[in-house]
A and B are shown apart, each in its own frame.
Chain A
Amino acid sequence: MSVLVVVECDGGEVKKSSLEVASYGSQVAQMLGTTATAVAVGEATEANLAKLGEQGITKVLHDAEPRLKDFVNGAYTKLIAAASQKEDSKIIVLANSNIGASVGSRLSVRLQASLATNVVELPKTDGGSFVVKRGAFSGKAFADVKLDGDRKIIAVKKNSIEALHEAGKTAQVEAFSAQLSDADFADAPKQVVMQDQAGGILLPEADKVVSGGRGMKGPENWHLIEELAQALGAATACSKPVSDVDWRPHHEHVGQTGITVSPNLYIACGISGAIQHLAGVNSSKVIVVINKDPEAPFFKAADYGIVGDVFDVLPKLTQAVKELN
């Protein structure tokens, strides 16, 4: 009855968020005196899956069905359900991603499991209850949620759990077939379109983010954001007004009705800090605000601030990063 961990893979590698999920799962397994088994979805190499031993995973189930490369709700759900049956898992841990939420919600009904998404801490298991802490009210609060029943599914928020790295440990990769049929791939995507990402860093996976608001005055000035982001190895983002007027694409919009990010470093340039924007970023570990208005509400939520003109400050920061490197 091992803990089952769902690891999302892309281009042969395990996603960073899934390394965190694996670390979460192996720590839960340790708390419960059992082991953690992973099941891989997406495109993965055996060598990279074996490396999940570093995150405390004992065994990885790998279904080599090539159509599992892209996300297919029906097939992924069936695969994970089959893996949980094989391992007799009472606890399934997955990423709080679009894939994790899509699959986790269906699995919770199929396996009659309780489900918590957006989870930010390891569970508390005092006195027979099982309680997890999750983000609520769009990042403005947390809720301790009691999960009932024998089976539980936990979707872990990105960047809230430190990934373990026990060098040299390897997991045993085991071929596994969920006997998937054509019917399980009925909702397979007709086409997958990936975005061009500045520097190849995906915003939801990024641990550093440089974000611009209306104070940037126009899309033609975005090179200042991009240059700092590139120097830092950060992803770029923007506020809602910026994506509303199409200065930047929607998938960069961070906030209550956009993407919620929780990087180690969030640098806000020319963003005043409306409460809806703060909701999307306030679980970032360190927030830096650059704004020429000293009264901008964002300064109240910031760790570091510069009151100044972004057009003057940003090149100085980029220069300083280059010198440091």
Chain B
Amino acid sequence: MKFLVCISNVPDTTTKITFTPDNKEFNKAGVQFVINPWDEYALTRAIELKEAQGSGTVTVLNVGEADTEPNIRKALAIGADDAIRVNAHPKDAFFVAQQIASIAKDGGYDVILMGKESIDYNGFQVHGMVGELLGIPTVAPAMKLDMSGNTATLEREIEGGKEIVEVNTPFVASCQQPMCEPRIPNMRGIMTARTKPLKVVEPTADAARTEVAEYALPPKKQGVKLIPAESAGELIKLLRNEAKVI
């Protein structure tokens, strides 16, 4: 079975967010980039399923410029077999979805996995766009994924519960915990990753439908009002009379 795992290159979760002086772009200076944490569930689960099946391949796909390659190599070190980088700045979700759909179609992948959303843009859009472009089902967000032959059983999170869904390949799923325990690279993985194939291709479509006009940081908090622990009950009065939230 052929797995395609789409990963995104995002600022580390501890990053303090700042923007370029015109507020049009994220300020990358001094920022450590990581594989999007949600995508790690997709990657590890694909590797686990391939191992359980005893055959097949896991291909990692990233839409990004050359600076994303260290994290693509990391995905190879974790256990993917090969990688494709679409050499382009990911303009928006639709732009990225078109690249993924084109590669998925040409490569004949059976299972297309990605994280629920990226922790930078938080779009939660690409899964459905890819599914619709390819005319195949999407399951989002998936908390569990098991395969039996060409049939997948997934647990899909809904507000307040979950649905058990069955789909046949090919399909798209966007993944989140507790799907698996994301793996970290070991030394052998890091060594072999260096020689695994990483193909760079040019984008096939150029259309984007949205554009960020400006970024802004949330307004600063006024500062905390401390209430002595001995008179904790006072807090409840403040919440009713001052903050008016209860």
Size category of the B interface is 35 or more
Does the CB pair B224–A104 fall under 8 Å? no
**Interface residue tally for chain A (C-beta within 8 Å):** 93
- B205 sits at the interface (CB 8 A): no
**Does B141 interact with chain A (Cβ within 8 Å)?**
yes
Whether B129 pairs with A324 at a CB distance below 8 angstroms is no
Q: Is B246 located at the chain interface by the 8 A CB criterion?
A: yes
**Interface pair A232/B246, CB less than 8 Å apart:** yes
User: Given the complex, which residues of A lie within 8 Å of B52, measured CB to CB?
Assistant: none
Distance in angstroms between the alpha carbons of A56 and B120 in the assembled complex: 34
Q: Can you list 24 A-B pairs with a CB-CB distance of less than 8 A?
A: A15-B159, A106-B131, A136-B120, A141-B19, A147-B210, A148-B211, A186-B137, A187-B167, A192-B163, A193-B162, A193-B163, A194-B160, A195-B160, A195-B162, A197-B160, A265-B245, A275-B16, A286-B243, A288-B235, A301-B221, A304-B224, A304-B225, A306-B228, A320-B233
Residue contact A276 to B13, C-beta cutoff 8 Å: yes
A140 to B158, CA, bound (A): 25
Within 8 Å CB of A195, what residues of B? 160-162
Give the one of B163, B167, B226, B240 with max A CB within 10 A. Answer: B163
Cα of A113 to Cα of B140 in the assembled complex, Å:
20
Tell yes or no: A74 within 8 A of B by CB.
yes
Q: Does B201 contact A (CB under 8 A)?
A: no
Q: Does B62 contact A (CB under 8 A)?
A: no
**Which residues of A are interface residues toward B (Cβ below 8 A)?**
15, 70-71, 73-74, 77, 96-99, 101-106, 108-110, 113-118, 131, 135-149, 186-187, 189-195, 197, 202, 204-205, 208, 232, 250-251, 253, 256-258, 264-265, 275-276, 279, 282-283, 285-286, 288-289, 299-309, 312-313, 316-317, 319-321, 323-324
Contact A140 B218 (CB under 8 A): yes
Instruction: State which residues 101-121 of B face A: CB under 8 Å.
Output: 119-121
